[in-house]
C-alpha cells in the first residue's frame, strides 16, 4: 500500500471521528486515515473550560456558519457554531454530559426497525467509554454499592476514556433557583442520565481536574503513535470518489482532498466513513452528487445518486433566554466586571483549577413539562449565574442570572443545502424554528414555567426582576413572537442524514448507518439521528460512534 491507500478513511476528526479512529486502528493490520479540515487542538482556550467564549466565533476553531433569515425568528439570522479543530464540537461546546431519555432510543429502534437501538442496548455502548469520577480523585465504581444504588444497576461505566465529573463550584443564586424549582413541583435529582431525566440539579461535565476533556484527548491522543493511524489536519474534502463494481453496483472508493495547496486522491479498500457532523457530512455528500436532484442541479453539481433525504429533517434545540436582575447575590457579572475580580478568578484557576474559569456555560439544569398534559419532561433548562446579550458579547454590568429553556422535542424541521459546487462555500442552513403551532405553544408555555419558578419563595430574598423578555408580554401570541425575537440555538443540529427503515423514502442511512445505494460508505455522526435526543447531543453522538465502530470492524 502507498501513502494514499488505506483500509478506512474517516472524514472529520470531531466527536465521532476521534472515537472511530481509536477503535478502527486497534487492528494493527488495518491502515486508517483520519481527515480534519481544522487545525490541531493546541489552542490554549480550547482546554480552559471558560474558553468556549473565545472559541465560538473564532475562525481558528469555528466554521463560522450562519443560518438563513428565519421566519420563525421574525427574519433574524443566527450564528451557527460548529467545531473546526481536532475534537470538533467537543472542543468548543458546553461540556455537559447528557444521554437523553430512554424513550428517545426506543423511538429510534421503532423508526429504524432495529432493536439494537433500544435504550437497554444503547446503555452498553454508553458505558463502553465512560469514566465517571468523584471530585476527590476517587472513581465512581460500579462495585461501590451506594453509587450503584444511586445511578442504577450497571448504569454507568468507570474505566473508559470519556471523563465525567461533577461541577467544581456552586452558586448561592443557582441553589436558590433549584429550591424554587422544587417548590414549583420539579423534583431534585443527582442523576440526569438514568433514562428519565426529569428533575433539577447540577449538570455533570466532561472535564478532568478542571480542564476540558474533549474527544481528541479522550480517544485520539492516546493512539496517535500507532503506525497504522495517519491524521491529516488542515485538509479539506472536495468530494467523494464513486465507481461501479463488476455487478454495476455503486461504490465509494475514496475521496479527493485539498491538502497543503495541492489536490490528493485517497482510496479506501474497505470503507469511507463520514463523521463531519450534521452540516459537514451533508455538504460532502451533496458536493459528491449524492442527494436531492433538484438541490444538486441548482448548485451545478452532477447527480450521481439520487437520495432525497440528504440535508432534510434538520432539527435543533432553540433556547429562550430569560434574564433576571437580582439583588444581594454573587454572580459572574459582578465578579468579572472589575480588575480585582478578574485577577482573583485567574488566581483561583491557576492554583486550584476551580472557580469561574473552570465552569461550563451552564451549571444548573432542570427538566420538566411545559404543561401537565405532557406525557414526559419536554423542557430543558440551562441556568447560569451571569447574563449577556449574546455569547461573545460583554457581561451585563448588573448582578443577574439567566434561565434558558428549550423545547426538547421540536416538531419544526429545516434543511441544509449546498449553494455552489465549491467546498469553500458554506451551505444554506435553514432550521425553520417555531414553524409549527405546537412549537410556538411550547415556547409560550415554557416562558410561563420560568416565571412560575422564579416567583417561588426561595427566590424572594434576591428580589428577581425580569429584565428580558419583560413582564409586559403575557398572551400566547405575544410570548411566541417574543420567543422569535430573543431565542437562539443551543448548538444541537441533528437529523440531516437520518437513519430509517427500508420503507422510509427519506432515510439516508440504514440501521447500521450504511448510505443507501452506495456500498463502502457510512455516516457516523449526529446527522443520523432520526429524532433529536431529549437533552444535549454530544455524548449520544459518541454512543452512536461506539456502536458503529463495532459494525464497521465486523463488516456488518
Exposed/middle/buried for 270, CB within 10 Å: 0-12, 13-18, 19+? middle
What is the grid cell recorded at 145? 454499592
DSSP conformational letter for 396: P
Distance, CA of 534 to CA of 315 (rounded, Å): 12
Distance, CA of 260 to CA of 106 (rounded, Å): 45
Strand locations in 278-347 (E): 290-291, 305-306, 318-325
> Going by DSSP bridges, is the β-strand pair 32-35/65-66 parallel, antiparallel, or unpaired?
unpaired
Choosing from 129, 317, 396, 492, the catalytic residue is 492
What is the grid cell recorded at 232? 491529516
Distance, CA of 337 to CA of 129 (rounded, Å): 40
* 393 φ/ψ angles, rounded to the nearest 5 degrees: -90, 160
Strand locations in 172-259 (E): 199-202, 204-205, 207-208, 211-212, 229-232, 235-244, 250-259
The DSSP bridge partners found for residue 65 are 80
User: Of the candidates 167, 526, 191, 544, which has an alpha carbon nearest to the alpha carbon of residue 353?
Assistant: 167
Distance, CA of 348 to CA of 157 (rounded, Å): 31
Exposed/middle/buried for 139, CB within 10 Å: 0-12, 13-18, 19+? middle
Please identify which residue in the block is written with the cell numbers 450564528.
Answer: 79
Give the chain's length. Answer: 556
What is the grid cell recorded at 391? 455569547
What is the grid cell recorded at 212? 476540558
Distance, CA of 123 to CA of 117 (rounded, Å): 10
DSSP run (H or E) holding 65: strand 65-66
Answer for the pair 47, 55: CB distance below 8 angstroms, yes or no: no
Answer for the pair 309, 416: CB distance below 8 angstroms, yes or no: no
Distance, CA of 187 to CA of 197 (rounded, Å): 10
What is the grid cell recorded at 170? 456552586
Q: How far is CA 216 from CA 16, 158, 434, 513, in A?
A: 10, 19, 35, 23
137: left (phi over 0), alpha (psi -120 to 50) or beta: left
492 a catalytic residue: yes
What is the grid cell recorded at 38? 481544522
User: Of the candidates 48, 324, 364, which has an alpha carbon nearest to the alpha carbon of residue 182?
Assistant: 364
Q: Which residues are catalytic?
A: 492
Amino acid at each position: 500500500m502507498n501513502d494514499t491507500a488505506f483500509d478506512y478513511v474517516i472524514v472529520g476528526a470531531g466527536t465521532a471521528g476521534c472515537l472511530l479512529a481509536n477503535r478502527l486502528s486497534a487492528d494493527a493490520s488495518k491502515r486508517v486515515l483520519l481527515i480534519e479540515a481544522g487545525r490541531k487542538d493546541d489552542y490554549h482556550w480550547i482546554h480552559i473550560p471558560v474558553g468556549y467564549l473565545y472559541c465560538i466565533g473564532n475562525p481558528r476553531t469555528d466554521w463560522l456558519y450562519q443560518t438563513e433569515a428565519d421566519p420563525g425568528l421574525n427574519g433574524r439570522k443566527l450564528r451557527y457554531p460548529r467545531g473546526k479543530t481536532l475534537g470538533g464540537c467537543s472542543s468548543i461546546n458546553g461540556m455537559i454530559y447528557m444521554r437523553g431519555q430512554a424513550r428517545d432510543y426506543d423511538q429510534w429502534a421503532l423508526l429504524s426497525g432495529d432493536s439494537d437501538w433500544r435504550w437497554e442496548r444503547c446503555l452498553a455502548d454508553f458505558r463502553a467509554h465512560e469514566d465517571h469520577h468523584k471530585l476527590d480523585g476517587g472513581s465512581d465504581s460500579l462495585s461501590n454499592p451506594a453509587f450503584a444504588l444511586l445511578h442504577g444497576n450497571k448504569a454507568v461505566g468507570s474505566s473508559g476514556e470519556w471523563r465525567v465529573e461533577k461541577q467544581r463550584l456552586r452558586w448561592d443564586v443557582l441553589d436558590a433557583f433549584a429550591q424554587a424549582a422544587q417548590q414549583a413541583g420539579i423534583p431534585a435529582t443527582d442523576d440526569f442520565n438514568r433514562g428519565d431525566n426529569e428533575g433539577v440539579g447540577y449538570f455533570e461535565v466532561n472535564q478532568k481536574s478542571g480542564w476540558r476533556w474533549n474527544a481528541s484527548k479522550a480517544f485520539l491522543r492516546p493512539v496517535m503513535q500507532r503506525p497504522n493511524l495517519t491524521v491529516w489536519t488542515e485538509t479539506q474534502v472536495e468530494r467523494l470518489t464513486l465507481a461501479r463494481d463488476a455487478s454495476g453496483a455503486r461504490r465509494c472508493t475514496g475521496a479527493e482532498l485539498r491538502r497543503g495547496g495541492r489536490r490528493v486522491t485517497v482510496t479506501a479498500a474497505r470503507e469511507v466513513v463520514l463523521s463531519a457532523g450534521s452540516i459537514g457530512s451533508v455538504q460532502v455528500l451533496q458536493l459528491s452528487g449524492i442527494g436531492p436532484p433538484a438541490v444538486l442541479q441548482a448548485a451545478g453539481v452532477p447527480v450521481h445518486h439520487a437520495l432525497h433525504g440528504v440535508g432534510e429533517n434538520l432539527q435543533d434545540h432553540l433556547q429562550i433566554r430569560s434574564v433576571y436582575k437580582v439583588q444581594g447575590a454573587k454572580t459572574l457579572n459582578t465578579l468579572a466586571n472589575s480588575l480585582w475580580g478578574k485577577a482573583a478568578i485567574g488566581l483561583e484557576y491557576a492554583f486550584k483549577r476551580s472557580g469561574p474559569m473552570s465552569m461550563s456555560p451552564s451549571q444548573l439544569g432542570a427538566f420538566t413539562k411545559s404543561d401537565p398534559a405532557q406525557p414526559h419532561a419536554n423542557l430543558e433548562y440551562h441556568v447560569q449565574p451571569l447574563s449577556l446579550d449574546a455569547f461573545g458579547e460583554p457581561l451585563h454590568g448588573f448582578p443577574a442570572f439567566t434561565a434558558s429553556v428549550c423545547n426538547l422535542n421540536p416538531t419544526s424541521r429545516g434543511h441544509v443545502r449546498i449553494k455552489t459546487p465549491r467546498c469553500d462555500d458554506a451551505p444554506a442552513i435553514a432550521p425553520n424554528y417555531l414553524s409549527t403551532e405546537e412549537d410556538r405553544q411550547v415556547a409560550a408555555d415554557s416562558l410561563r414555567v420560568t416565571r412560575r419558578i422564579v416567583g417561588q419563595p426561595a427566590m424572594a430574598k434576591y428580589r428577581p426582576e425580569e429584565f428580558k423578555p419583560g413582564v409586559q408580554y403575557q398572551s400566547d401570541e405575544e410570548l411566541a413572537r417574543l420567543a422569535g425575537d430573543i431565542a437562539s440555538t443551543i448548538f444541537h443540529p441533528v437529523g440531516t442524514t437520518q437513519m430509517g427503515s427500508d420503507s422510509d423514502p427519506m432515510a439516508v442511512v440504514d440501521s447500521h448507518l450504511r448510505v443507501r445505494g452506495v456500498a463502502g460508505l457510512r455516516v457516523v455522526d449526529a446527522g443520523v439521528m432520526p429524532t433529536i435526543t431529549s437533552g444535549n447531543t454530544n455524548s449520544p453522538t459518541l454512543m452512536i460512534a461506539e456502536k458503529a465502530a463495532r459494525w464497521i470492524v465486523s463488516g456488518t
